[in-house]
Amino acid sequence: MTARADAHRAVHAVFRIEAPRLIAGLARMVRDVGLAEELAQDALVAALERWPESGVPESPGAWLMATAKRRAVDELRRRRMVDRKHEALGPDPEALGPTAPPAPDAAVDEPVRDDLLRLLFIACHPVLSREARTALTLRLLGGLTTEEIARAFLLPEPTVAQRIVRAKRTLAEARVPFEVPRGADLQARLESVLEVVYLVFNEGYTATAGDDWMRPALCEDALRLGRMLQALVPDAAEVHGLAALMELQASRAAARVGPSGEPVLLLDQDRSRWDRLLIQRGLAALERAEGLGGGLGPYALQAAIAACHARARTAALTDWPRIAALYDALAELTPSPVIELNRAVAVAMAFGPAAGLELVDAIADEPSLRRYHLLPSVRGELLSRLGRLEEARAELERAAGMTRNARERALLLERAAACGRAAKGA
């Protein structure tokens, strides 16, 4: 019984690795993301039935693809589409015989790179909502189950399942072309892809809600997608910029959490715990983005900011004037209140808290920041540094009341209490 359970775990592990390529290849053939996923799941069931007895094949991906192709032929026949689709499916896997194992040569498709890229662009199509794009991307390319996606974003599983089902239906009804966009359309669609990948990373890096400060598995999924994009779109500077940004931020993961899971802020982190390999990867990706020319985009600029931190062996050695200048460039390229808030922090570190507070107060009435807890958090920190402790305490308590992350709330309340104690002792 244990051996069979171990075999089933091995099958699931192999399938998780192979699923994105499998679904991508099948989607190209049948022109239907939902059907492609069903066919891939059918292949998984077949593997669960056969591999515990016969062992994992030498080429498991090829075996799964050939098995899925056989089922695709059956399905297309039932749909009276086989005449138009048979040629696209290549050699008929049924020729292998009903009991013979699928031949790898008959199953492997050459354009794996194009298939994966095509699937990524389809899953992140702008016709879908941001939430639907995220869920579908994690399902099809991240290999996550619906339960895992729901757990990661603290959502009910039926909610995530409905999003994925609606996303597939929307793609079908919109007749989204199963091809990689080109020219201006490629750039527009690429922005959507990068946005989804970074959204996944950010949710893992600083969870918006729940009891944990970080969700490392989501960061790892985003890093994997980012590295995949680097291989698939090697000439896009912003792809390397995003990869650099995620690698550099991920390098701090071990130092961002204390022994009890409490958050450790950037300036208080033990930098000897930063992952030097990830830093090297991030700096190399940033160099690649810079080498492609054309000026740095938003992700590459943020990566350049992260690089300033990565290069500083201690917090005191951080080049804050350069960071402030990079935020100036970022604010000019993609102006937003959130970027202005981050710029205010950099200016405060470079030129003093009063200069930073002036910038914060200038955006205090922005409607988009009304429920953004980092606004009162930053304002409270700057007020504290200026010795305005009671005002700082009130702002930090206000920030604590706005965040949905339990760890962050505890940190903010602790800082507010410290300001209150200092005010009484002053």
Tens digit of each residue's pLDDT (9 = 90 or more) over 280-296: 999 999 999 999 988 89
The predicted-structure confidence for 398-413, as pLDDT tens digits, reads as follows: 999 999 888 899 999 9
Supply 391's token pair. Answer: 């005002």
Amino acid 88: pLDDT: 57
Of 370, 297, 295, 300, the C-alpha closest to 334 is: 297
Rounded distance, CA 320 to CA 164, Å? 43
Supply 112's token pair. Answer: 């794996």
Query: Could you tell me which residues come within 8 angstroms of residue 407 by beta carbon, excluding any fewer than 6 positions away?
Result: 211, 212, 213, 261, 262, 263
Q: Is the pLDDT of residue 273 over 60?
A: yes
Q: What are phi and psi of 210, to 5 degrees?
A: 100, -170
Considering only 48-62, 224-238, 296-310, which range has the smallest mean pLDDT? 48-62
Q: Is the pLDDT of residue 96 over 70?
A: no
Beta strand 209-210 with 404-405 is parallel
Share of the chain above pLDDT 70, in %: 88
> What is the value of pTM for the model shown?
0.74
The predicted-structure confidence for 322-374, as pLDDT tens digits, reads as follows: 999 999 999 999 999 999 999 999 999 999 999 999 999 999 999 989 889 99
Of 370, 367, 343, 371, the C-alpha closest to 357 is: 343
Amino acid 100: pLDDT: 39
Amino acid 48: pLDDT: 87
Confidence of residue 110 (pLDDT cuts 50, 70, 90): very low
Rounded distance, CA 135 to CA 93, Å? 32
Q: Is the pLDDT of residue 122 over 50?
A: yes
Confidence of residue 213 (pLDDT cuts 50, 70, 90): low
Amino acid 322: pLDDT: 98
Supply 132's token pair. Answer: 């639907």
Confidence of residue 150 (pLDDT cuts 50, 70, 90): confident
Amino acid 113: pLDDT: 60
Supply 212's token pair. Answer: 């944990």
Indicate the average pLDDT of the chain: 85
Helix (H), strand (E) counts: the chain: 20, 2
Of 123, 114, 121, 125, the C-alpha closest to 144 is: 123
Segment 123-135 shows an average pLDDT of 89
Considering only 18-27, 89-98, 144-153, which range has the smallest mean pLDDT? 89-98
CA dihedral 246, 250, 251, 257 (to 10 degrees): 150
Rounded distance, CA 145 to CA 152, Å? 11
Considering only 34-38, 110-114, 382-386, which range has the smallest mean pLDDT? 110-114
Query: Could you tell me which residues come within 8 angstroms of residue 346 by beta carbon, excluding any fewer than 6 positions away?
Result: 305, 320, 323, 324, 327
The predicted-structure confidence for 21-57, as pLDDT tens digits, reads as follows: 888 888 888 888 888 889 988 988 888 888 888 888 8
Q: Is the pLDDT of residue 7 over 80?
A: no
